[in-house]
Amino acid sequence: MSDTASPVGVAVLGLGNVGSEVVRIIESSADDLAARIGAPLVLRGVGVRHVSADRGVPAELLTDDIEALVSRSDVDIVLELMGPVEPARKAILSAIAHGKSVVTANKALLSRSAGELAEAAEAARVDLYFEASVAGAIPVIRPLTQSLAGDTVERVAGIVNGTTNYILSEMDATGADYHSALADASALGYAEADPTADVEGYDAAAKAAILASIAFHTRVTADDVYREGISNITPADFTAARALDCTIKLLAICERITTAAGQQRVSARVYPALVPLSHPLATVNGAFNAVVVEAQAAGRLMFYGQGAGGAPTASAVTGDLVMAARNRVQGGRGPRESKYAQLAIAPIGDISTRYYVSMDVADKPGVLSSVAAEFASHEVSIAEVRQEGVIDDEGKPIGARIVVVTHRAPEASLSKTVAALADLDSVQRVASVLRLEGTDQ
């Protein structure tokens, strides 16, 4: 490092778990970071909503005037770690307009406005990095944008939400119901006070949009992602899953598909699915995340680790900071947005997979044949069927349960089948419909 290298000025927006850890790393690892970058990093200011004395950083660095901070001439890189979509979007656009490179972990913003931010960064010829927006410390964005830049990615699938993975892991391991497992997750700090974004799949859908956009060189927003949550999963579903040598995971799946006419499309979807115990994702438990990438030349790659938390996310943010700072010192730039493919988004009805359907039925002759007839009439092939009696708390028979596992079929056909089953007099209710992923049948 040259003794005359100009310092790289850094502004941090937000001083929560991630922001505080990033500030700590910048200060405690100053010499190492300077050696890696080729110039020292200097923290110029920290933007917060409310300035107070007890924030763990020198009072003179704190400010609630975000606009003034991101426009300062001695700031080169802005780290946006405050969320939510607004005022983060305004702050990032202002920073870019003033010639600052930006590092953000804001998945909600990126899943809706990545194109706008990328265009602004390109016009200003600055960097926009966001490794921390998906899977915390796990390197996923950089391998997709750089390591696999010469390959063709076919599919990205994974567990990208630690809260839901913890809940489902607990239900599987202990037999707890959804509400009990959610209460445990809240007590341990894995679930927010309002867990809706996690348990209903919104968080995973935002991450799926980011992954699909990068993997398939197509702008995909959160609104393009089909989404289901985990709140309807029951212990009975896990019992059935174990009988099939499976477990249940909330998966984010981004996939390149080809229509019968030979047209390529992008599918992005989030839902709970049965996963065979032999699949690598089946062993990812607790609050851990994992992403499996399948590419034509590279084959299958798996990335696994801590997907959330202040320290892991700060690690990814600091990695982006080092890359952006190096570019400032050396005069280079990071990867730009790639959207040349502009593939259409495939509707969920066009997606083919296997299904698990559980229904409560009357315990009388002919029910199974009538159920099978509805599957056949909608051209959904049955791979396996099981019928068992259902008893009440006093041990008296009150009906039967039929579990059907299908071969691969289009989502639209399965939806019509389920609607027809619900209309049968002998079917009391369709209790559960889950996809079966990770098989080739």
The catalytic residues are 207
Cβ-Cβ contacts under 8 Å for 145 (sequence gap 6 or more): 214, 335, 338
- How far is the C-alpha of 12 from the C-alpha of 47, rounded, in Å? 6
Between strands 246-258 and 264-276, the pairing is: antiparallel
Cα 289 to chain centroid distance, Å, stands at 9
Residue 276: phi and psi, rounded to 5, are: -60, 145
Q: What is the dihedral of CA 12, 15, 21, 27, to 10 degrees?
A: 50
Cα separations in angstroms, 439 against 37, 220, 247, 275: 45, 26, 13, 8
Reference 38, options 76, 4, 79, 73; nearest CA is 4
Reported as type and span, the H/E element at residue 304 is strand 299-306
- How far is the C-alpha of 396 from the C-alpha of 400, rounded, in Å? 12
Helices (H) and strands (E) in the chain, counts: 14, 18
Q: Coil, strand or helix: which one is 2? A: coil
- How far is the C-alpha of 181 from the C-alpha of 195, rounded, in Å? 12
**C-beta separation of 233 from 272 below 8 A:** yes
Residue 19: phi and psi, rounded to 5, are: -60, -40
Reference 229, options 253, 254, 250; nearest CA is 250
- How far is the C-alpha of 152 from the C-alpha of 280, rounded, in Å? 22
**C-beta separation of 191 from 182 below 8 A:** yes
Radius of gyration of the chain (CA): 25
